[in-house]
Structure 1
Amino acid sequence: MQPARAAAPDDRDIVLATEGLTMEFKGFRAVNGVALRVERGTIHALIGPNGAGKTTCFNLLTKFLTPTAGAIRYNGRDITRMKPADVARLGLVRSFQISAVFPHLTVKENVRIALQRRQRGDSFDFWRSERVLRALNDEALSLIEAVGLADFAEVPAVELSYGRKRALEIATTLALNPAMLLLDEPMAGMGHEDVDRTAALIRRVSANRTILMVEHNLSVVASLSDRITVLARGQVLAEGDYATVSKDPRVVEAYIGAGHG
């Protein structure tokens, strides 16, 4: 039996951390001194009302923006000034940043291309023989099965439902073998059936990796997240499990009271 986690994790248990993370746009601080600690092996949600700074914070963490001040560390290494591709090679991957699903290729072909990228960097080797590419099929099919698309392996991506396209995008991200996944609103635009399917998928793929997600669907956040950080006006408002933060008067006010304005 695994021993219970300590209430205050050791620094070795922290996979992603920020100190004083700040982003200023022409005098406006969209993110202001954020301190974030994501524990290894957890699903951590970043939530907040509109204008809270979630998207800006997420773009800082995934290296699509460079902060005005502060530091970002991944496994203890300072990645504040690193490029997205270099960070991805360390195992920190933003889903959908690399997936660029090819609509007229099959599900299997899309995942196989992602596997090529992992193995050969930016060289996709489209000129290589079909025999060489077929060697990637077994791993591609394993990933496809893992995201629940086994029955759609030979279906062109353009013919998939929206929810299944998102599952394919996650499969192409998993092809890079990330240690940590960053998911940007994975449920956006989905109907109830696709939300349930994608939530189950996220739970499955979290079995041996860390996940940080920005998500508006609070029922999904409640069911999936081990820990939640609530942002409001660019700052951390509250942090804890869902039962804790959902009862925090400051969080309630930020979402439905005067603080939402």
Structure 2
Amino acid sequence: MAEAIVETANLTKSFKGFTAVNDISMRVEAGTIHAMIGANGAGKTTCFNLLSKFLVPTSGTIRYQGQDITRLKPDQIARRGMVRSFQISAVFGKLTTLDNVKLALQRQRGESYDFWGSHHRLDHQGQRAMALLEDVGLEEWADTPAAELPYGRKRALELATTLALDPKVMLLDEPLAGMGTEDVGRTAELIRSVAKGRTVLMVEHNLGVVADLCDRITVLARGEVLVEGDYATVSQDARVIESYIGGARHD
């Protein structure tokens, strides 16, 4: 069994008597792409917000690289290398695609945006930013204001700005949502590419989308883990067919 990089034990979150996440214990192995999926109301967003520290659990623990991070804040886990995509990668529409990535690179160094600086440092920063744009297929859009990017390209820019922080774990909240078929395929391959040497934990609602992309899938239902395993395992589970796939046919 591979080493776990993120683990939860008996994770629970209640809101005024309503339990949105109930006693979830899951294990994310280092170097894998792991998806949490489920129908609307399954608890996946609440669980994701707990893992990314935007919510504090009612009970249970979260461990990252063997250390208890249950009570840490989002910026504290980001500095340790566990980064949620929108947390840092907000797109600034009036800035060019390249400048958005430069800004993220400076955020990694903990500095304000450089309107001036040594030629060497600025040149190095520009080269690194262009390399990140190449990694996500946006080099031709470098001088385009981010607001003018097509939707799928904006999501690619968000990945680039997240990569600028050199994360060990990327937390992606429905990165394929709202995309057409062509963009879904392109973005899925992009996630696969940038995941090399990293761990990706993503929330998704579509089992088919993650079939070829993810190494492991956790299916949630009514705030609890229904089943966990690879696609072959979860897609053939009778409980998944009944409560998730079957339910999706009526949406």
Q: Give the TM-score, by structure 2 length.
A: 0.95
1:224-243 alpha-carbon deviations (Å, 9 max, x no partner): 01111111111111011111
CA distance in 2, matches of 1:140, 1:50: 37
Given candidates 19, 29, 33, the residue that maps to 1:29 is 19
Q: Which letter maps to 1:129?
A: G
1:194-216 alpha-carbon deviations (Å, 9 max, x no partner): 11110010010111100011112
Given candidates 2, 19, 40, the residue that maps to 1:50 is 40
**% identity of equivalent residues:** 63
Counterpart position of 2:117: 129
CA distance in 2, matches of 1:245, 1:100: 33
Unaligned segments of structure 1, at least 5 residues: 1-8
Q: Does the alignment pair 1:175 with 2:164?
A: yes
Q: Which letter maps to 2:10?
A: G
Q: Does the alignment pair 1:61 with 2:67?
A: no
Q: Does structure 1 conserve the Cα–Cα contact (< 8 Å) formed by 2:12 and 2:58?
A: yes
Counterpart position of 1:163: 152
Counterpart position of 2:235: 246
1:152-187 alpha-carbon deviations (Å, 9 max, x no partner): 111111111000000000000000000110110001
CA distance in 2, matches of 1:74, 1:223: 26
RMSD: 1.7
Unaligned segments of structure 2, at least 5 residues: none
Larger CA deviation: 172-181 vs 248-257 = 248-257
**Matched residue of 2:160: which SS?**
helix
Q: Does structure 1 conserve the Cα–Cα contact (< 8 Å) formed by 2:8 and 2:63?
A: yes
CA displacement at 1:50 relative to structure 2? 1.1
Counterpart position of 1:97: 87
CA distance in 2, matches of 1:231, 1:110: 35
**Matched residue of 2:86: which SS?**
coil
Counterpart position of 2:189: 200
Q: Does the alignment pair 1:225 with 2:214?
A: yes
**Matched residue of 1:207: which SS?**
coil
Q: Give the TM-score, by structure 1 length.
A: 0.91
**Matched residue of 1:49: which SS?**
coil
**Matched residue of 2:88: which SS?**
coil
Counterpart position of 1:138: 127
Q: Which letter maps to 2:217?
A: I
Counterpart position of 1:78: 68
**Matched residue of 1:96: which SS?**
helix
Q: Does the alignment pair 1:112 with 2:102?
A: yes
Q: Does structure 1 conserve the Cα–Cα contact (< 8 Å) formed by 2:37 and 2:206?
A: no
Q: Does the alignment pair 1:211 with 2:194?
A: no
CA distance in 2, matches of 1:158, 1:239: 39
1:6-35 alpha-carbon deviations (Å, 9 max, x no partner): xxx25xx00000000000000111000000
CA distance in 1, matches of 2:104, 2:124: 14
CA displacement at 1:127 relative to structure 2? 4.6
